[in-house]
Amino acid sequence: MSLASSLASVMVYVDSEQQDEGQIAVAETVASGFEAALLGVSAVAMDPPFVAEGVIIEQTTEEDLERIRATLSDKEAWFRRIVRLPSEKVEWRWTIGFPTEFLVEQSRAADLVVVRRSQLKPNYSRHLDAAGAMLRLGRPILSVPDGVTRFSGDRIVVGWKDARESRLAVRDALPFLTRASQVTVAEICTSSEQDAARDRVRDVTRYLQRHGVSCQHEVRVHTAEPDAGYLVRLAADVGADLIVTGGYGHSRLGEWVFGGMTQSLLRHAPVCLLMSH
């Protein structure tokens, strides 16, 4: 197997309050399939000091820190208990700090980062911002919907757009694409772009075939149906449980702004998403 089609290290973010296996089960399946290491990562942020009229009214105490450490230690024990990989293949990393910052920092140790897909919560800096992390990791991210614990990757849909993010996503997804029994590359375009779009998806298909991928392609003209909805429906039609796309977004005035399809897929896709930015 070439380096391009292998994974050696899979990282999964574990919420300190999480009680179900969820994305951990998916990450374990991926790690087991590639005989890769599985790195669990978790973080709990401290509440900032409460200050009124220049006077500190409330701040984190040593007892608070001990309680956080105990919570993370219990979560490590739970993580190691539910993961059924050899102990030498399992690692745990934790910190008292902001979850998103810690995951971005630790992603240097992983080929793939697995997260649970969730909406932003109040005081979101204290919770993982999985979508925002995707734009900063420099690693492909596998986003797992709530309630999904099984993953095969036997059939995959690639949502193609002729842009840097799509090219990165296809390259990063090669470990999965080369193992799939069927890959469908799809581009959605305007009616005047159909010929050019067919040329583009043919190029992508040939590229993947040279890597030994069994794939087909199709082009669809924009309709009233949202583009993300079409990809979700296509995945259902071909029996795919993974959609691969570029992750489109940028920072504006300190807030992450996402492309329309990226945002819609993150909100509504019932299957796993592999995205690269």
Q: What is the pLDDT of residue 132?
A: 86
* Least reliable range by pLDDT among 110-124, 172-186, 245-259, 263-277: 245-259
Q: Where is pLDDT greater, at 261 or 277?
A: 277
Q: In this predicted model, what pLDDT tens digit does every residue of 192-214 receive, in sequence order? A: 999 999 999 999 999 999 999 99
Cβ count near 71 (within 10 Å) = 15
* Residue 247 confidence (pLDDT) above 70: yes
| CB burial of residue 102 (10 Å; 0-12, 13-18, 19+) | buried
- 130 band by pLDDT with thresholds 50, 70 and 90: confident
DSSP SS3 for 117 = coil
Q: What is the pLDDT of residue 119?
A: 54
Q: What is the pLDDT of residue 64?
A: 87
* Residue 49 confidence (pLDDT) above 80: no
**Measured distance CA(268)–CA(277) in Å, rounded:** 20
| DSSP for residue 38 | E
Please state the pTM of the whole predicted model.
0.91
DSSP SS3 for 121 = coil
Mean pLDDT, residues 179-189: 97
Structure tokens at 55: 């006077």
Q: Which amino acid is at 171?
A: R
Q: What is the pLDDT of residue 56?
A: 56
Cβ count near 196 (within 10 Å) = 13
**CB of 207 closer than 8 Å to CB of 242:** no
Q: Name the strand (E) or helix (H) holding 251.
A: strand 249-252
Provide the pairing of β-strand 141-144 with 215-221.
unpaired
Q: What is the pLDDT of residue 46?
A: 81
- The alpha carbons of the chain give a radius of gyration, in whole angstroms, of 20
**Measured distance CA(42)–CA(95) in Å, rounded:** 7
Q: Quote the Cα angle for 208-210-215, to 5°.
A: 40
- 262 band by pLDDT with thresholds 50, 70 and 90: confident
Q: In this predicted model, what pLDDT tens digit does every residue of 106-126 receive, in sequence order? A: 999 999 999 998 754 545 567
Provide the pairing of β-strand 155-160 with 141-144.
unpaired
Q: Which has the closest alpha carbon to 48: 109, 147, 126, 110?
A: 126
* Residue 38 confidence (pLDDT) above 70: yes
* Residue 13 confidence (pLDDT) above 80: yes
Structural domains of the chain sorted by starting position, each given as residue range(s) with its CATH number in brackets:
3-144 (3.40.50.620), 155-276 (3.40.50.620)
